Chain A
Amino acid sequence: DGGITQSPKYLFRKEGQNVTLSCEQNLNHDAMYWYRQDPGQGLRLIYYSQIVNDFQKGDIAEGYSVSREKKESFPLTVTSAQKNPTAFYLCASTIGLHTDTQYFGPGTRLTVL
């Protein structure tokens, strides 16, 4: 079955640690996105990539980093510079057209202890 997988589902981090969230898709989509979800705030865009080896900052990129070495993979690193990283993180992908549906993964819930 085609889809997007995110791992782990739950992640706990101590303050000062970097953590990497995995996102893999087998939909052959060119564009991939990372969103952060906080209660009552909807989803906010962190980073996006429209092609391999290229990515762009979204609205809240500070304290995060990404890579896009393969079409299928778009990992997100939450660095120690992110002041309030506890949130639900969602990865999405799309063919790369305005009218195309963005398909979402099941999410990773990150908690900083």
Chain B
Amino acid sequence: AQSVTQLGSHVSVSEGALVLLRCNYSSSVPPYLFWYVQYPNQGLQLLLKYTTGATLVKGINGFEAEFKKSETSFHLTKPSAHMSDAAEYFCAVSPRMDSSYKLIFGSGTRLLVRP
């Protein structure tokens, strides 16, 4: 069965530092790939997604992610962290052969930004 692994349940960075959140998926056929952000006690908001084409995807709030098929990865980065980036981030996949179009989520990474 398809699975998603997010390394690190908590990541702490200083304001202005690089943000790197890791995501790996487990299928031989690359799925569609998504990153969502969740602020406390709120729903999820899409940051970016990869479906086809250019493997470097730019999203909202200065985030970007790169699809690397050889590494089965879709890591999320931001060059310079801001205090407002503190939230929980979820990587999700949608298997291409799955007719339900459901999302399979990783367990999430909570980003802490230190002043």
Contact = CB atoms under 8 A, between A and B. Distances in A.
A100 B101 contact: yes
A60 B101 CA distance: 17
Contacts, number: 67
B90 interface: yes
> Quick one: which of B32, B34, B101, B103 has the most chain A CB within 10 A?
B101
A17 interface: no
A99 B106 contact: no
A41 interface: yes
> Secondary structure at chain B's binding surface: helix, strand, loop or mixed?
loop
Given A104-B44, A104-B45, A42 B90 contact: yes
A100 B102 CA distance: 11
Interface residues of B, number: 27
A99 B32 contact: yes
A96 B41 contact: no
Contacts of A6: 43
A45 B44 contact: no
A91 B1 CA distance: 23
Nearest to A97: B101
